Amino acid sequence: MGSVTVSTQWMIHTKKADFDGIAKRFGTSSLLARVIRNRDVVGDTAIEKYLQGTLDDLYDPHLLKDLDKAVGILRGKIAGCDDASMAGPADGPGAGQVAKRGRGRAVAHPGHEGRAGAGRKIRIVGDYDIDGVCATYILFTALTELGADVDYEIPDRIRDGYGINMQIIEEAHRDQVDTILTCDNGIAAIEEIRRAKELGMTVIVTDHHEVRTAQGDGEGSHALGDESRYGDGGAPGADGLDGGGDLAPHGGMADGDGGAKGDAAQDSEILPPADAIVNPKQRACPYPFPEICGAVVAFKLVQALYEAGDCMPEAGGYFTKEDTVEGIGVAGDCVAEAGDCVPESGDCVAEAGASARSGEGPTPWDKFLEFAAIATVGDVMKLRDENRIIVKEGLKRVGQTRNLGLKKLIELNSLDPERLTAYHIGFVIGPCLNAGGRLQSAKLSLRLLLCKDADEAQRMAEDLKALNDSRKEMTERGSSEAAAQVEGGRGGDRVLVVYLPGCHESLAGIIAGRLRERFGKPAFVLTDAHASGGGASAGGDGGGAVADGGGDGAGADSDGDGAAGAGVRYLKGSGRSIEAYHMFNELVKVQDLLTKFGGHPMAAGLTLPMEALPEFRRRLNANCTLEEKDFVQKRWIDFELPSEYLTESFVEELKRLEPCGQGNERPVFAQRNLVVRNLEIFGKNRNVVKLDMVTNSGFATKGIWFGDGATFASSVRAGDKLDVLYYPDINEFRGARTLQLTLKDFRVKPPSP
């Protein structure tokens, strides 16, 4: 079978507003006012926040349900006491239970770096994606700085699957941990947290995933997580994180507009029996913008802890750097550079950059803003409202970072720290941080961020970059093989199901996203499962974020229920969908073939016996009701803008839209009837095409295309007339500045009769 092509439909926004009035009030051009309106920023207050928002506009952390309760519990644990008024259970199953708690003992062993202190032992349980790593870093560094006896655990993607599990609970009990603090996971861990309570531990859940409800949750349909969050959904073929949409545990998905606190108001929430649950997706939570990532939830928690003030019980001040570092970690491990506290005064200062708050200096928690920003971009959260401010301010701090690990990653990837954008986080820095959790251990990434030795940080950064380079090569090979299977006989299927026996489990979601982008169809990629503990984890993807297509967001559990029976071969995989195909609901229809599965409308993960593969493929396609119109991909255009009207000042003005990304995409304009005079292919991989073009009026226009040069040259020749979609930019070369069109899509017009 020949090459399969994807149909696209170009759609122009037609949203109305008083563009001249907006331009006058906010000092913009009317063209920029139109672009802003196209992003659904409506009303003077919203426009002011969009263009001029500062840290003053961030929401009060104390609006998060149970945040004050969590702060009270943690303050008590740091002080080495239990106060029932601080540590009462959260609302939900298990409320009212008061557990017996013993005094913790610091246990130093590989993977659990901590500080021996006078308080109760706290263990942070994070996640293996960029959001979980950054959230763990924020909590561990802040709690250490505030005097806590704290260590951490991060599940292994292949061995453990997503989130806290029974093995982690039992190990914490053996280590005499008093308090478990989750981040970027825990909201769906009902049985695991119930077990922790039975063992007498205090549990605080911080998470941002969807809350399970009593209806619509298939037996064993735990959320998975990993690759479809940003890149898959927005930048086909790019080597960024994994983009697409954050997985909602048990079949739900956040809509990005504050409306995803439950699919049906009549369905009751199923909450774990934790002592405190800090998650803006709870229906009873009044937080105004629930679409924040796990690291931002952690950031809000540590802000409130610092604001509490008296976190050091012995002295009524913050620990100095010398005090904090003492006793952290085990031999040979790097330790956190835990804050720049000034010993003489006891006043903590921010690690990098001044606070953007009006009339205030930096705060002790400002140093964590860059990590909240990295996680927000990496987890492919929509860059709207509060997220936009966090990323905008955080990117400034990333460029000035004093974190050795981040510095080394920036240097190794030859990035200019003064010109970092959300793109560099999503497609360069983020994939390196995610590579550890994908191919080895997320603890590598966390240790890099915690490291304070320059030589060791250099070595670890090089290791992570090498892992990411390997991941890219493996992804390219897998994507090529998968595409060849489709074009070799499966192109007629409306739902693509590809089996790649040599594919690494963690790459299945990325490759599925590539197939979706290339063929415009729902796609599943399956590979051989590597089960452990008696059970294969469904979907073990976990959360990535930005370029190849995304991250499911919450890996399925791995509780060892016999999925990997003796003599039975199992497959494990991920799916990425299109708007018209509700992937989770379609899996429900074939759940009798599956060992485990989970997901949301746009992404899913699953485990099934090898022998069920043919029937799985057959029934998905037999059940499919998609029509040809559903396979047409829509490309949204801000408006037509002929190149004659482009100016350097307008291109510079477009920078006011930054940071751009998911939910705040770069503007795309249309230009008709450009005649190609000449084109040349450049680059080591011949993936850059430069074009000389001219308009109907004779106006000379430069263009550039990033993609396979040979494919482009086979479609476009000198003399052809094109309609193009583009983003305008300024090319600077040897001191000369030239306006050029970065082509995002094109159509060759048939010659005139």
The model's pLDDT over 488-499, given as tens digits with 9 standing for 90+, comes to: 888 889 999 999
Predicted TM-score (pTM) of the model is 0.79
% of the chain exceeding 70 in pLDDT? 75
Give the Å distances, CA to CA, from 541 to 292, 505, 507.
20, 8, 8
Helix (H, G, I), strand (E, B) or coil at 206: strand
- 551 or 72: which carries more pLDDT confidence? 72
- pLDDT range class, residue 522, cuts 50, 70, 90: very high
Measured N-to-C along each axis, helices 369-378 and 294-308 cross at an angle, to the nearest 10 degrees, of 160
pLDDT at residue 549, rounded to an integer: 36
Whole-angstrom distance, CA of residue 581 vs CA of residue 585: 9
Mean pLDDT of the chain: 80
Phi, psi of 234 (to 5 degrees): -130, -25
Of 54, 185, 65, 197, nearest to 124 by C-alpha is 185
Q: Is 359's pLDDT higher than 70?
A: no
Mean pLDDT of 580-608: 89
Written as one string, the DSSP assignment of 394-420 is HHHHHHT---HHHHHHHHHTT--GGG-
Average pLDDT over residues 559-586: 77
Q: What is the token pair recorded at 215?
A: 């209806």
| The pLDDT value given to residue 80 | 87
Nearest-angstrom CA–CA distance, 148 and 143: 5
pLDDT confidence of residue 752: 73
pLDDT of residue 566: 54
Q: Residue 556 pLDDT > 50, yes or no?
A: no
43 has pLDDT over 80 = yes
| Token pair 């090569």: residue | 473
Q: For residues 247-257, give the mean pLDDT.
A: 33
The pLDDT tens digits of the residues spanning 150-203 come to 999 999 887 887 889 999 999 999 999 999 999 999 998 999 999 999 999 999
- What pLDDT, on the 0 to 100 scale, is given for residue 572? 93
Name the pLDDT band for 112 (thresholds 50, 70, 90): very low
- Digit-coded pLDDT (tens) for 732-742: 888 889 999 99
Q: Model confidence at 337, in pLDDT bands (50, 70, 90)? A: very low
Structure tokens at 578: 């299109």
Find all residues with CB under 8 Å of 464, minimum gap 6, and list them. 409, 432, 433, 435, 436, 444, 445, 448
Is 60 exceeded by the pLDDT of residue 332?
no
Q: Kindly tell me if the per-residue pLDDT of 485 is higher than 90.
A: yes
Q: With 50 as the cut, is the pLDDT of residue 715 above it?
A: yes
User: pLDDT value at position 157?
Assistant: 83
Is pLDDT at 533 greater than 90 in this prediction?
Answer: no
Q: Which of 323, 380, 315 is nearest to 659 (CA)?
A: 380
Nearest to 636 by CA among 608, 663, 602: 663
Sign of the C-alpha dihedral computed for residues 24, 26, 32 and 35 taken in this order? negative
Q: Is the peptide bond before 659 cis (omega within 30 degrees of 0)?
A: yes
287 φ/ψ angles, rounded to the nearest 5 degrees: -60, 130
Residue 716: is its pLDDT beyond 80?
yes
Q: Do residues 312 and 339 touch, judged by C-beta distance below 8 A?
A: no
Beta-bridge mates of residue 748? 722
Percent of the chain with pLDDT over 90: 63
Measured from the Cβ of residue 480, the count of other Cβ atoms closer than 10 Å reads 12
Of the listed ranges 322-326, 352-356, 595-599, the least confidently predicted one is: 322-326
DSSP per-residue string spanning 557-612: P----STT-TT--EEEEEEE--TT--HHHHHHHTGGG-SEEEEETTEEEEEEEGGG
**Looking at residue 360, what is its pLDDT?**
61
For residue 349, what pLDDT is reported? 33
pLDDT-derived band at 317 (thresholds 50, 70, 90) equals: very low
CA 459-156-475 angle, to 5 degrees, is 70
Q: Which residues have C-beta within 8 Å of that of residue 148, sequence separation ≥ 6?
A: 74, 77, 78, 115, 117, 119, 122
| pLDDT of 267 above 50 | yes
Question: pLDDT at position 83, please?
Answer: 56
| Nearest-5° Cα angle at 478, 477 to 483 | 100
Mean pLDDT of 144-155: 95
The sheet with strand 202-206 has its strands ordered as 149-153, 121-125, 179-183, 202-206, 276-278
The pLDDT of residue 751 is 80
What average pLDDT does range 443-452 have in this prediction? 95
Across the range 423-439, mean pLDDT stands at 92
Question: How much is the pLDDT for 732?
Answer: 87
